[in-house]
Amino acid sequence: MAETLVFFRDDDVGELTDPLRFHLDLLIEFGIPCHYQVVPSYLDAACAAELRRRKAAHPDLVHFNQHGLHHEQIVEGRVEYAEFAFGRPYEDQKKAIAEGREQLSQQLAEAFSSDVFTPPCHKYDAATLRALGDLGFSVISAGLRTDWPARAYYGLGRALGRVELLGKRVSYHRRFTPDARLAEVSVVVDAHEDVDGRGVRLEKTADDLWSDFEAARRSLDAVGIMTHHQACETPAKQAALRSFVERLAADPSVRFGDLLDLQPSRAAA
């Protein structure tokens, strides 16, 4: 079987909890790199100190990047978790991203990598990309679908040079976004989120995760897996993630990498 490159991205990091320690320990035990996306306003001093210790001990296995500023905004009196959606003006987005970056630089110091940005809820627009480019980020990581309608829609959107089309985001996965400064490297497997036909949330077993991974590798030669460590809060859920990771690690056609390995080459741009 052809080789599949696998990378991990874990979101919503900020508080030092047992599920976060479990997640860090699990992937380090298997020697698997992971990009942890930190929400500046969630990050407390104890967690920052722990992340810095982890980075010093395993510099090639843990990467700490920025995930918004507050992970929410107020839109017409409602709390929306998509911090950079709903047409926020460019200056406003840039100010929030710069403020978050400054906070992480202060709290994480050398453990913070300011190259990758993950927009909360994978929602962003052309103003977000412009702000990220102006602030010197090089990669945006969001989500991607591989079903044929999504592929056709992305293809059309890219041909038109659009960031959004008909209200939905166009993926430029492993390509440069239209403003040419940022590359997109997105995840395709969500380790936890699943809903049944009636919209009820389901918990994925290790077998469900493996099926998702197999489906993704049929259309991609590199598969990004998104986790939310806080979802691994019970022994059963931790066992499911461990068993999936063990199966990946035992597969001779899987090679682990980090998200930056999937950037398109700058020279080719």
The contact set with Zn ion (CB under 5 A) reads: 11-12, 120
Strand 34-38 versus strand 78-80 pairing type: unpaired
In the complex, least distance from residue 39 CB atom to Zn ion, rounded to whole angstroms = 7
Q: Which amino acid is at 54?
A: R
CB of 144 to Zn ion, least distance (A): 16
Minimum distance between the CB of residue 252 and Zn ion, rounded to whole angstroms? 33
11 vs 258 by CB, closer to Zn ion: 11
Smallest distance from the beta carbon of 16 to Zn ion, in angstroms? 17
Closest to 137 (Cα-Cα) out of 160, 122, 117, 167: 117
Report the residue number, 120 or 157, with the smaller CB distance to Zn ion.
120
Give whichever of 118 and 146 is closer to Zn ion, judged by the CB atom. Answer: 118
Q: Which is nearer to Zn ion, 12 or 212 (CB)?
A: 12
The DSSP symbol for 121 reads G
Count of C-beta atoms within a 10 Å radius of residue 208: 15
Which CB, 39 or 127, lies closer to Zn ion?
Answer: 39
Q: Cα(185)–Cα(158) distance, rounded to whole angstroms?
A: 15
Give me the long-range contacts of 171-175 (CB less than 8 A, separation at least 24): 171/142, 171/144, 171/145, 173/144, 174/222, 174/262, 174/263, 174/264, 175/264
d(CA 176, CA 197): 35
The least CB distance from residue 200 to Zn ion, in Å, is: 21
